[in-house]
Amino acid sequence: MIVDSYRFLPRSFRPYYEGRGPFRGEGEPVWAPFEKRLGEARIALLTSAGVFLRKDQQPFDVEREQTHPEWGDPTWRPIPARAGADDIGVAHLHINSADIQADPEVALPSHLLAQLAAEGLIGAAAETHFAVMGYQDRHLHDWRERTAPEIIAALRDEKADGLILAPA
Amino acid sequence: MPVLARWIERAGIPTAVVTMMPAVAEERRAPRIVGVEFPFGHAFGMPGDKGMQRNVLELGLRVLAGAPSFGTRVDFDLEWPVPLRDAYRAWQPAEPSPIVRKLIEARRGSNA
């Protein structure tokens, strides 16, 4: 089947997404070849569901977003692969987070990825995955200048051979 | 999110985006795309459904490792197993997000 990209989007929001084209300067193809076999590769995950560790990390700043509706917190959080539902909070004003709170694997399937590594489908799962708050389209500056370089550096530290990103 | 994938890809790390809006990921020029016709907040499927989550993640991994060229898109062949009206209502926050509230207020203002 061909996925209907707007099936769950309120009809009045569709023009904000459809036919907008690439961001300025981001129209050309970019390509990093995946050179290893999957069974030898180390894989990391990134979610934009606003996931954070309740005990150890600040939530994403949704208070400021309440007073500045066009702003979204551009920071990121490292999420240890072993973190589970008891460890994780969700700070995201654009979705009902109840299902992610109940089962974080719907947004960041780190336990499942570890299982696939144990089975040999992938070589290894990263020890640390990544969370952002994915409401950034209006202000990409901080993401471009700070968040992305930091995540890239962390991916290199992790020796990640590939990354699966999942928007919320 | 697609633009973040592009920056990471440009740094030499292959990426795949698993998204409920694959047409938008194509427009935003993500290198590898897996489309899922799931409600927002549920990229890998239903809570507690390990089989569904596994099928989506495995497809993501196979597209990550095996996509032959830039712009490859593969859609996950499953309809969300909840009636549309219920699922549409369920994914949305109890309160409209600040930007949605602002848009609604602007529309009310222009209609007044």
| A112, closest residue in chain B (CA to CA) | B54
pTM of the shown model: 0.96
What does the pLDDT read at residue A12?
86
> What's the average model confidence in pLDDT over B89-102?
90
- Check pLDDT > 70 for residue A88: yes
Q: How far is A130 from chain B (nearest CA, A)?
A: 12
Q: Which residues of A touch B6 (CB under 8 A)?
A: 26, 30
Amino acid (one-letter) located at A62: V
> What's the average model confidence in pLDDT over A64-82?
93
- Check pLDDT > 90 for residue B99: no
Complex confidence, ipTM: 0.96
> Could you tell me where the DSSP H helices lie in A33-147?
62-67, 98-102, 110-119, 141-142
CA distance A157 to A128: 10
CA distance A62 to A20: 26
What does the pLDDT read at residue B103?
83
Terminal CA-to-CA distance of chain B, rounded, Å?
A: 36
> What's the average model confidence in pLDDT over A103-132?
98
Using CB atoms, pick whichever of A5, A66, A99 lies closest to residue B41. A99
Q: What is the token pair recorded at A46?
A: 């990134």
Per-residue pLDDT band for B112 (boundaries 50, 70, 90) equals low
Say how far residue A141 (Cα) sits from the centre of its chain.
18
- Check pLDDT > 80 for residue B90: yes
Greater pLDDT, A93 or A112: A112
Q: How far is CA A29 from CA B9, B10, B19, B29, B55, in A?
A: 10, 10, 19, 7, 28
Using CB atoms, pick whichever of B1, B13, B92 lies closest to residue A152. B13
Residues of chain B above pLDDT 90, percent: 82
**pLDDT tens column, B64-85:** 999 999 999 999 999 999 999 9
Q: What is the token pair recorded at A84?
A: 């589970």
